[in-house]
């Protein structure tokens, strides 16, 4: 879950959506800040103009006493929280509704009404010397503070919801685009894992660019599937055409062997030739069998097969071979029947190939285990050995036709055993997994449980 979320946050559609939202937010914030600054400057200029106009009116007073009386009269009808009027006469007397005092902590505005309370707030002030005294007029900056609150509300009510809506839309689009990319990715994974029939399945809301990419992938997969099918058909045709001549060569070699003295040098050389010819015939026979398995015609012969009984039989057949080679072969089978739908002969061939492969690549003193277990509706048939194993980067390659590890090129075999195992597993829609047995190789084939009953099973 955490990995999926991390992949989602790293997806290109989401990054583009976040980039667009950030760009929109930055432009909107800059525009809002510029609008606030212009409006604030306009308000301040208007307040300063009012102050200059008020000061001009008081300058009309002819004497200091007239100015003091005018300030006193105006201050009675003026709220000091909005406008402050203060005139300090030449004699040191103060007229107005407030005065500006200074102490160690700085300047303070003190009301001249009863109690002389200190006034809070921010003001813009003009001061002028008139008739030997000092006239101060100040107007509150409350409107500017209200303007700031107004723009903050605009930010909260307008910009933030818009950003959240845009971000939500971007997330939805990114998630949809990511689902489409995952469809393409799964199809690619299936194609690279060998399922050449996999295709990108388009939905109704696919973007044109992803449709074109998916179409090209489907076109490529179709061409590759056709090429591989043609190559398999050629190999099958060659194997089919050469099978009969090789069999005839084997018959002639048997006739020649009867005419040669037993124990002679010529008879020994002829025996080596017969072994090589038998190996060639077995290779072509395996190719033909693999082609038949991959063709899927064996599904028509499917029936309910008891895997437990089949495994017990195959282990009994190989037990003398393992004992003769100084190897151990042990089976861990459940008491109850394990039923699957399949072809009994092919399943037996698959298990025989796995056991034979394990015995061939482990020397004397090693042990091969055949384990059958059931978990829910699934059954796992496992063949394990303690030999050299297969490197992780080679495990997919050994399932290919005729592929052999470098260390196995001098051992008997044709490189088709695990290919046939893989083909039989795919025919039965089983999962084939090669993994490390620490040490050795472990091959797990997991089947779905059959729906039939034990009475229909064949062992």
Greater model confidence, 371 or 13: 371
User: Cα(68)–Cα(52) distance, rounded to whole angstroms?
Assistant: 18
Q: Which of the two residues, 186 and 449, has the higher pLDDT score?
A: 186
CB-based burial, 74-110: b 16+ in 10 Å, e otherwise: bbeebebbebbbbbbbeeeebbbbbbbeeeeeeeebb
Going by the DSSP 8-state scheme, the letter that residue 200 receives in this structure is -
Express each pLDDT in 175-197 by its tens digit: 777 777 778 878 877 777 667 67
Give me the pLDDT at residue 410, please.
Answer: 47
Residue 371 has pLDDT above 90, yes or no: yes
Per-residue pLDDT at 147 = 82
Mean pLDDT, the chain, whole residue set: 78
The predicted structure's pLDDT at residue 383: 93
Residue with tokens 């037993």: 262
CA distance 124 to 290: 96
Q: 146, exposed or middle or buried, with CB in 10 Å at 0-12, 13-18, 19+?
A: exposed
Output the six-digit token pair for 209: 């660019």
The DSSP string of 31-68 is HHHHHHHHHHHHHHHHHHHHHHHHHHHHHT-SSHHHHH
Q: Is the pLDDT assigned to residue 5 strictly greater than 60?
A: no
Per-residue confidence (pLDDT) for residue 454, from 0 to 100: 41
Q: Looking at per-residue confidence, does 281 or 91 come out higher?
A: 91
Strand order across the beta sheet in which 328-332 lies = 328-332, 367-375, 378-385, 441-448, 431-436
| Better pLDDT: 225 or 130 | 130
3-state secondary structure 365-405: CCEEEEEEEEECCEEEEEEEECCCCCCHHHCCHHHCCCCCC
Q: Biggest alpha carbon distance in the chain?
A: 156
The residue to which tokens 């509300």 are assigned: 153
Q: Which of 165, 163, 159, 149 is nearest to 32 (CA)?
A: 159
Interior angle at CA 60, CA 55 and CA 63, nearest 5: 110
The residue-averaged pLDDT of 261-266 equals 74
Across-strand partners of 106? Answer: 103
pLDDT of amino acid 68: 86
Question: Averaged over 138-147, what is the pLDDT?
Answer: 82
Q: pLDDT-derived band of residue 442, with 50, 70 and 90 as boundaries? A: very high
> Which single residue is written with the structure tokens 């052999």?
404
Through-space distance between the first and last CA atoms of the chain, rounded to whole angstroms? 44
Q: 274 in helix, strand or coil?
A: helix
Average pLDDT over residues 152-172: 77
Phi-psi domain of 83 (left: phi exceeds 0; alpha: psi -120 through 50; beta: other): beta
**Going by C-beta distance under 8 Å and a sequence separation of 6 or more, which residues neighbour residue 332?**
369, 370, 371, 372, 373
Walk me through the domains of the chain, giving residue ranges and CATH numbers: 1-192 (no CATH), 208-294 (1.10.287.130), 299-456 (3.30.565.10)
pLDDT in tens, 297-352: 677 788 888 999 999 999 999 999 899 989 999 999 998 888 888 888 888 888 98
pLDDT at 381: 92
Predicted confidence band of residue 455 (pLDDT cuts 50, 70, 90): very low
Query: How confident is the model at residue 35, as a pLDDT?
Result: 87
Question: How large a percentage of the chain has pLDDT more than 70?
Answer: 78
Q: Each residue of 202-232: pLDDT tens digit?
A: 777 777 777 888 888 888 878 777 776 665 6
* pLDDT at res. 404: 58
2 pLDDT exceeds 60? no
* Helices and strands in the chain, H and E counts: 10, 14
Pick the closest to residue 198 from 180, 176, 178, 183 (CA basis): 183
Cα dist from 74 to 63, 96, 100, 219, 236, whole Å:
16, 8, 18, 91, 114
pLDDT, tens digit, 9 for 90 and up, residues 383-434? 999 888 888 877 777 777 666 554 444 455 555 678 888 888 888 888 889 9
Distance CA 280, CA 268 (A): 19
Asked if pLDDT for residue 7 goes beyond 90, the answer is: no
Which DSSP state fits 449?
A: P
Backbone angles phi and psi of 442, in degrees to 5: -125, 125
pLDDT at 384: 93
């Amino acid at each position: 879950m955490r990995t999926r979320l991390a992949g989602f946050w790293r997806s290109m559609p989401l990054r583009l959506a976040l980039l667009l939202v950030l760009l929109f937010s930055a432009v909107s914030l800059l525009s809002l800040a510029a609008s606030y600054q212009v409006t604030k400057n306009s308000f301040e200029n208007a307040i300063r103009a009012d102050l200059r106009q008020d000061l001009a009116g008081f300058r009309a007073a002819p004497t200091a006493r007239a100015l003091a009386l005018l300030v006193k009269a105006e201050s009675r009808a003026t709220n000091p929280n909005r406008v402050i009027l203060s005139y300090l006469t030449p004699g040191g007397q103060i007229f107005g509704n407030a005065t500006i005092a200074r102490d160690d902590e700085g300047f303070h505005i003190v009301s001249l009404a009863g109690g002389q309370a200190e006034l809070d707030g921010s003001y813009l002030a003009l001061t002028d010397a008139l008739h030997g005294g000092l006239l101060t007029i100040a107007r509150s900056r409350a409107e500017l503070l209200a303007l700031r609150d107004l723009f903050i509300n605009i930010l909260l009510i307008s910009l933030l919801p818009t950003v959240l809506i845009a971000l939500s839309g971007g997330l939805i689009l990114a998630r949809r685009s990511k689902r489409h990319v995952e469809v393409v990715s799964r199809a690619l994974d299936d194609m690279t894992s060998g399922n050449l029939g996999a295709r990108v399945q388009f939905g109704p809301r696919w973007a044109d660019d992803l449709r074109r990419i998916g179409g090209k992938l489907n076109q490529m997969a179709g061409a590759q599937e056709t090429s591989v099918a043609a190559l398999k058909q050629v190999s099958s045709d060659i194997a089919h055409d050469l099978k009969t001549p090789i069999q005839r060569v084997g018959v002639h070699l048997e006739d020649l062997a009867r005419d040669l003295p037993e124990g002679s040098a010529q008879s020994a050389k002829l025996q080596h030739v017969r072994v090589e010819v038998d190996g060639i015939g077995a290779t072509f026979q395996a190719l033909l069998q693999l082609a038949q398995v991959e063709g899927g015609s064996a599904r028509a012969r499917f029936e309910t097969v008891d895997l437990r009984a089949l495994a017990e039989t195959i282990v009994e057949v190989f037990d003398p071979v393992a004992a003769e080679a100084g190897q151990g072969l042990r089976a861990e089978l459940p008491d109850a029947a394990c039923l699957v739908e399949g072809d009994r002969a092919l399943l037996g061939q698959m298990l025989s190939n796995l056991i034979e492969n394990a015995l061939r690549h482990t020397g004397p003193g090693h042990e091969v285990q055949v384990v059958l277990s059931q978990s829910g509706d699934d059954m796992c048939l496992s063949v394990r050995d303690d030999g050299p194993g297969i490197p992780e980067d080679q495990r997919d390659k050994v399932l290919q036709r005729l592929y052999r590890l470098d260390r196995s090129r001098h051992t008997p075999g044709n490189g088709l055993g695990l290919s046939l195992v893989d083909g039989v597993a795919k025919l039965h829609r089983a999962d084939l997994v090669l993994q490390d047995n620490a040490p050795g190789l472990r091959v797990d084939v997991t089947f779905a449980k059959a729906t039939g009953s034990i009475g229909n099973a064949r062992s």
